[in-house]
Each structure stands twice: as structure tokens, then as C-alpha cells.
A and B are shown apart, each in its own frame.
Chain A
Amino acid sequence: MKILLMGNPNVGKSVLFSRLTGVQVIASNYPGSTVGYTRGQMKLGSSAAEIIDVPGTYSLDPTNDAERVAVEMLQDGNVAINIVDATNLERNLYLTLQLLERKIPVVIALNMWDDTQHLGIHLDLEKLQNLLGVPVVPTVAVSGIGIKTLVEKIPQSVSGNYPVISPDERWALVGKIVSQVQQITHRHHTWRERLADASVRPLSGMFIAFAVLAAAFALIRFLGEGLIGYVFDPLFNLLLPPLTSLSNTLGGGGLLHDILIGKMINGQIDYLQSLGLLTTAIYIEFAAVLPYVFAFYFVLGILEDTGYLPRLAVLMDTILHRLGLHGYAIIPTMLGLGCNVPAILSTRILESKRERFIAATLISIAVPCASLQAMIWGLVGKEGPQYLLIVYGTLIIVWVLMGFIINKFTKGFSPEMLTEIPPYRLPPARALAQKLWMRVKGFIVEATPIVLGSVLVVGLLYAVGVFDAIARFTAPVVTGLFGLPKEAVTAIVVGFIRKDVAMGMLAPLALTANQLVVAAVVLAMFFPCIATFVILGKELGLKDTLRATAIMIVAALSAGGLLNLILK
């Protein structure tokens, strides 16, 4: 049996999906957090059922990609669980009626039931059930209330007895139903609503955005540095003696020693410079990058689940319009500061192919991921905050300038922003922790083999002298244009594989602060890592990926070269 979870965007489908299947999925408080679909299994009586988390849709008239996907999936579902936002019955019932017209058996989960009370909404459940002719179960997905009853009602789902009618007739019917089952009592504005209003007005909005982003930045830095200084560095110091004795056992040199431990710096292991599998590779991933990945996703989770991001989108709309995007593109961009891969996937929430191309290209060129940023903060930040400012300032200028240029030279125009703004919510701690754990686990599982593999391969290539050949070949660009020592090409090449390892490769080169700045900017812009590249190809297709790549090469060469000229 195939069960479809269907409903408007941001009504809690993904949370309900997790509840029903035990499968963890990323859920957030903004429309469009599910862009693909997720399948899972659940037990239904004695048999197993397949359950599908369908992207949110307002209607079954396919006006965008998410809706087209939903309509297609409807063909082969056996039952639809229609999740309805109880606080917004009128808008949600339109889809419900369309589902009932399609004759698919439906059971309704009246979600966010707890919110109706303090919003002063009273619903007559029995009447609603009678009018619609299908089971209606009140639920609170985030806390699990009503889920058991919902599951019990699935076998009782029935197909609706509604004739197909025109949109106007359907809206009229929705209005009739709502007027019969819903009563609203008056109540005063809450502080959350006042804050909500303030965050979409220009002056107060700017002020709030500035405060929120500054606080987010400070919190990430505080958490990241705290974890490094008080947890991971002491931990790795404890590992030094056993590693040193391993180094002695291996004879202090030789191929195996160089690959496992790396080079000894002044007779000692140096986690940043030795470049061995058990030293630098492990250290970079766990002690330098992981704390920041953790800190970033902790803060991002809060921003996502409170519902602030759509407000930031409203605020950024004017600027983003000049770049051929609309405000909502800020959400993939923010995700990109964590990892470019999910960011490029989430550009699907943008309506047109043109916007997706611009957004994905800008992310892959000018938005550094958390792994790279952690290393930039570690290496460049050591030289002083002004150098960090130059790196970020350059990337922001590149982002704006590139968007402006691509917008000018790409056919078509960008559609207007139109989005629902969810109410502010206090995110439940459990949901936040779960999401954070999923993302951190994802990072460890995906990054570890690649980090170890790339350090291993680089070690081997070094040993056979491949990098010397590449360094000689690329010297004009690396040395002439960027003003970097020719050995820095190793880092640029490794940048195809993992940005954090690449940045780590710069540590032993004794670069000046200005050289580090140029190298950081070039690494951020020049070729996204292989995982991002693959996703870019999948999402944009061959032609547009080649276009994006050409833009990227030109941009990286000019930005790196100019920066070198200015700083010299």
C-alpha cells in the first residue's frame, strides 16, 4: 500500500512523516523545506505500508514544479493523508476538496491543533467530518499528539463524494464549509505578532536583520572557538604521545611514516603542517571543521525553525531583484554557508530555470561552505580580523557583481516574489537537536572518507613527484597572477576534492597575511568541490553547468588577480 502525505507548504508534513516512519527528515519553519520527496515505511496493522512525504502544494493545478511533482505522485497513491493547518482552514480546504474530487481515499490530519486555542479559533470537528465525509483527526505533529489515532483511522479512509467543480465554485464551497464549522473569538495582539510585523517593515526590519545576523555570527564564532579551545584541542593534545611513539616505531621517516604521520616539523608532529592521515587529516576534520559545522547548523536550525528566514527574504528582495533573483533566494544562499550541496538542491524552491541557474552559479562561486570557512577563520583569522573582513568583503562584492552581470546577460526576466510568511514559533528543543544531529552525522559520514582519501592521494602524488610537474606548468598563473608560491597549486588542485583540506595544505607554506587572503578567496571561488560539481551538473544540465564553469573560471582569475594587485 502506498500512502501519500499531502498538504499546503509548511503545515508540518515532514514532522508527521518522521513521526509515522521513524525516518529522520529535515523539517523547517518555511514553505518549501521539502523539495524532493522522501519515502519511508510504516507498520499498518500486520502489513507494511510505503509512505511518501510529498512536497507542499496549495492546489492540484500545477503552477510550479513542486505541484507538478505532487500531481504526478497522486496517480499511484492508494491513500492520501491530507495534512491541514487547523489555524488556516479556509486556505487549506481548497486542496482537500480537490483531493476529494479525485476519488482517492482521504483521511485528514488537522495539524497544529494546539495553536487554534490561543488564536481564539473554535472548530466543530464532528460537523467538519460530516460535511467532508472523511475521517478528521486533530494532531500536533511536533509533540506527537493524535498520531496514534491518525494511524488507526487510515483503514477507514474513504474517497470523497464530490463532483469536479470550477475553482470559483470550489472556493465558494470552502467558504460555506468554514462558516459552518469555524468560530473566531477576538483576542489581542501577542508580542510574537508585533515582532512579526516589525520584521517586515523597512527600518525596524533592517535593524532586526542586522541584530539577528550579528548575533548568529557571534554565536557561531563563540561556539566554534569554544569547542576547539576547550574540547577538541585538549583531546588532540592527549593523542600526541601515542602518535609520537607510533612515529618512532615507524622509524621517523619513510613512505608509510610520511603517509600516516606526515613530515615532522622541528622533530615534532604538527597537526596543521605534518599532512599525515592520522595527524592533519583527522585534525582538520574533527578539531578544526567539525566544531564550526556543529555551531553553524545549530544556529541555522534556530533561524529556520523560528520562521525568521522568510522575513529575511522579504527584506533582501529589493537587492536580490537586481541580481535577477527574488528574496526567497536568500534561503538557498544561507544553506550554502553550511554546505553547497543541499543549497543547490534547494534552489528548486525558485520558480524559473533562469533563477535557479543564477542562484546555483552564485552559490557555487561566491558562497564558501562551513568547512572552508572554519579553515579560513583558523588560518586567516590568526593574522587579524581585518584580513577576514577582506576575504568576506571580496566574496560579497563578487556575489553582487556576478549576479548583476549574469542577470544582464541572461535572457528572460525574474518573477515576482510571492510567499507565505509563517508565524514565529518557538522551536521545540527536541526537533532542533534531531535536525542538528542529522546534519552533523551527515557531515561526518560524507566528509571522513573524502578527507582521508584526499590526504592519502596527495601524499602519494607528492611522493612520485606529480605535483612538482603541475606546479611548474601552472606557475605563470599561480605565481604571476595570484602572487602565491608555486607550491600553492597543490592546494588549488586539492580544492576540487575538499576545500578544508585544501586550505590546510597552505599552512606549511609560510604565506604572508596578504597571500593567505588571496589564496582563501581563490580557493572559495575556483571550482566547487567535486560533490557540489556533481549536484550542479544534475540540477542545471550539461550546457548550463559548462556556462557556470566558464563564468567561475573568469571570475576566480580576475578576483584573485585584482586582489593580489591591490594588496601587493
Chain B
Amino acid sequence: MFGFKHRFGRQHLPAVNGLIPLTDLANGQSGVIHSFQGGQTMEQRLNALGARQGQRITRIGGMFMRGPITVKIEKSQIAIGFGMAKHILVKVQDENFVNG
């Protein structure tokens, strides 16, 4: 469960193609979910709540001191613990391409 931290740091942190962890999204900014770096169970639970690869996700708020990140996906809002949100990679969209 914890092994991927390292992997995460190596492969994805250089923000190639605008890939950033969900936690780095600014309030009000949207992106498309690129991948989950946290194991099957986490992915399943997130999927069930509507957070899936390719979905547009908008950050609504975050709490200080690494509190949960609240996001909007489709019509629903979900709160994702900071540790989990760190492992969701988001591709930030160029504002010009957003039509929504």
C-alpha cells in the first residue's frame, strides 16, 4: 500500500503534459483524471463514487493542514482524504479546450 510513494515521486512528479496530483489543483480549477496510484481497493472505492479515469474533476475546496479535498464530478461532490487525493493524477486542461 505504501510502496508506490517512491514510484510516484520518480515517474510522475515532473509535470509532463501537465500531470499533477489532485492536491496541487487550485480551488475552482478542473482537470481530467489520468490515473490512480494507490492500489485496487482505493481505485474501486473512488470509481464507485464517480471518480474514474477520463472523468472531468473540479476542485472546490481543501482544508488546511492536509485536510480532505472536496471535488465535484458530474453532479456530485465528494470529499477525498489528503493522502488519497495525493495519489490521483490529474491532467490539467488548457482553458481553451474546456467546453462545458
Contact = CB atoms under 8 A, between A and B. Distances in A.
Interface of A: 58-59, 61, 63, 87-88, 90-91, 94, 119, 121, 167, 171, 196-197, 200-202, 205, 310, 313-315, 317-318, 326-327, 415-421, 423
Among B27, B45, B62, find the residue whose CB has the most chain A CB atoms closer than 10 A. B45
B77 A88 contact: no
Nearest to B48: A58
B63 interface: yes
Contacts, number: 104
Contacts of A197: 60-61
A314 B67 contact: yes
Interface residues of B, number: 31
Contact of B81 (A61, A87, A315, A326): A326
Given A87-B75, A418-B79, A421-B78, A318 B66 contact: yes
Contact of A202 (B41, B49, B63, B74): B63
Interface string B60-84: 1111111110100011111111111
A551 B61 CA distance: 38
13 contacts: A63-B48, A88-B74, A90-B50, A202-B62, A205-B61, A314-B79, A317-B67, A317-B79, A327-B67, A415-B81, A416-B83, A417-B79, A418-B78
A61 B64 CA distance: 33
Given A63-B41, A418-B81, A418-B84, A317 B63 contact: yes
Nearest to B46: A418
B4 to A, nearest CB: 14
B91 interface: no
Main secondary structure of the interface of B (DSSP, over half): mixed
Contact of A88 (B27, B44, B75): B75
B47 interface: yes
Those 4 A-B pairs whose CB atoms lie nearest each other, nearest first? A416-B81, A58-B48, A201-B61, A421-B77
Among B68, B78, B81, find the residue whose CB has the most chain A CB atoms closer than 10 A. B68
A90 B56 CA distance: 13
Nearest to B73: A91
B80 A205 contact: no
A85 B8 CA distance: 36
B46 to A, nearest CB: 7
Contacts of A421: 70, 76-79
Given A418-B80, A420-B77, A421-B77, A200 B70 contact: yes
B68 A314 contact: yes
Contacts of B68: 314, 317, 327, 416-417
Given A59-B44, A200-B63, 9 more contacts: A171-B47, A200-B60, A201-B62, A202-B62, A314-B68, A417-B81, A418-B45, A420-B76, A421-B76
A91 B84 contact: no
Interface of B: 27, 41, 44-50, 52, 60-68, 70, 74-84
Among A61, A327, A416, A420, find the residue whose CB has the most chain B CB atoms closer than 10 A. A416
A326 B63 CA distance: 13
B19 to A, nearest CB: 21
B74 A90 contact: yes
A314 B60 CA distance: 12
A394 to B, nearest CB: 25
Among A310, A317, A327, find the residue whose CB has the most chain B CB atoms closer than 10 A. A317
Given A61-B44, A200-B61, A315-B63, A420 B78 contact: yes
A59 B79 contact: no
Among B41, B80, B81, find the residue whose CB has the most chain A CB atoms closer than 10 A. B81
A417 B63 CA distance: 13
Contacts of B76: 88, 91, 420-421
A201 B62 CA distance: 6
Nearest to A320: B67
A99 B52 CA distance: 21
A420 B80 CA distance: 9
Nearest to A90: B74
Among A201, A315, A418, A421, find the residue whose CB has the most chain B CB atoms closer than 10 A. A418
A417 B80 contact: yes
A463 B33 CA distance: 73
B75 to A, nearest CB: 5
B71 to A, nearest CB: 10
Contacts of B80: 416-418
Nearest to A59: B48
Contact of B44 (A63, A90, A327, A416): A63
B26 to A, nearest CB: 12
A315 B69 CA distance: 10
A318 B62 CA distance: 11
Given A167-B47, A202-B63, A205-B61, A91 B74 contact: yes
Contacts of B82: 416
Nearest to A61: B44
Among B41, B61, B62, B80, find the residue whose CB has the most chain A CB atoms closer than 10 A. B61
Given A200-B61, A314-B67, A58 B49 contact: yes
B53 to A, nearest CB: 9
A91 B84 CA distance: 20
Contacts of B83: 416
A171 B45 CA distance: 14
B52 A317 contact: no
A91 B81 contact: no
